Amino acid sequence: MAESAKARGTGIAKRSPEYIHKKMEEGKAVIALTTEGTWVGFCYIEAWEHEKYVANSGLIVSPPFRKTGVAREIKRKVFELSRKRYPHAKIFGLTTGLAVMKINSELGYEPVTYSELTTDEEFWKGCRSCVNFEILTSKNRMNCMCTAMQFDPAEDARKKAELTKTVVTEDGHIEHHRKREFEGNFKLFERWVRFKQFVLLKGWKKKEGDSGKKPSILNFLFFW
């Protein structure tokens, strides 16, 4: 996971092999394998703040199996596992990856501010090993390069009730049509994430004395 984060130039909250091992033993992990037993992918969950929150972390798919829908399937299983073990918890994840944001939004997660996430110090301690930790602390833990996405079961139930339209078809069947507001705006959301990361990174580098220059319009257009 750490090598993969390095390769794509993003940060990662490092975990020890023992920690990951424990997740597997506790049944808090989803492991994807081929029928021959080749490792394909992984993700784990952890509850925080007396089970008020559940984080989905460490998603990774083995490179030869990428872009075939494995991550989507793992995240679906992880979501089911989180709902089953902690039915009242808010489920969240922090990510810089657009693939994950897309999958999350399909599952009903919505982008939230960091203030809506757990305040459990142990969770945030995990970010100390990330290369972007200074950005997180400089923003008083209110923002960073990752986008926070959260599924709130109470909010979801309320929205489902609001957005479900009951239609009686011509042949007399009753159909319930559901509409999710967020999915239609994904392109705009992607752009917003790139812009946020651009602004955060520029601001941070400037503070570090890297350039001191204002972001140029060309840089901005590149990120947009």
Ligand X SMILES: CC(C)(COP(=O)(O)OP(=O)(O)OC[C@H]1O[C@@H](n2cnc3c(N)ncnc32)[C@H](O)[C@@H]1OP(=O)(O)O)[C@@H](O)C(=O)NCCC(=O)NCCS
Provide the binding-site residues for ligand X, judged by CB under 6 A: 4, 59-61, 66-72, 95, 97-100, 102-103
Q: How far is the CB of 203 from ligand X (least distance, A)?
A: 23
**By CB neighbour count within 10 A (0-12 exposed, 13-18 middle, 19+ buried), where does 46 fall?**
buried
* Residue whose CB is less far from ligand X, 162 or 195: 195
* Residue whose CB is less far from ligand X, 9 or 212: 9
* Residue whose CB is less far from ligand X, 47 or 60: 60
* Residue whose CB is less far from ligand X, 131 or 157: 131
* Residue whose CB is less far from ligand X, 7 or 217: 7
Q: How far is the CB of 194 from ligand X (least distance, A)?
A: 12
- Please answer whether residues 151 and 90 qualify as being in contact, where contact means their C-beta atoms are separated by less than 8 angstroms: yes
Q: How far is the CB of 170 from ligand X (least distance, A)?
A: 33
- CB closest to ligand X, residue no: 71
Q: How far is the CB of 99 from ligand X (least distance, A)?
A: 3
Q: How far is the CB of 56 from ligand X (least distance, A)?
A: 9
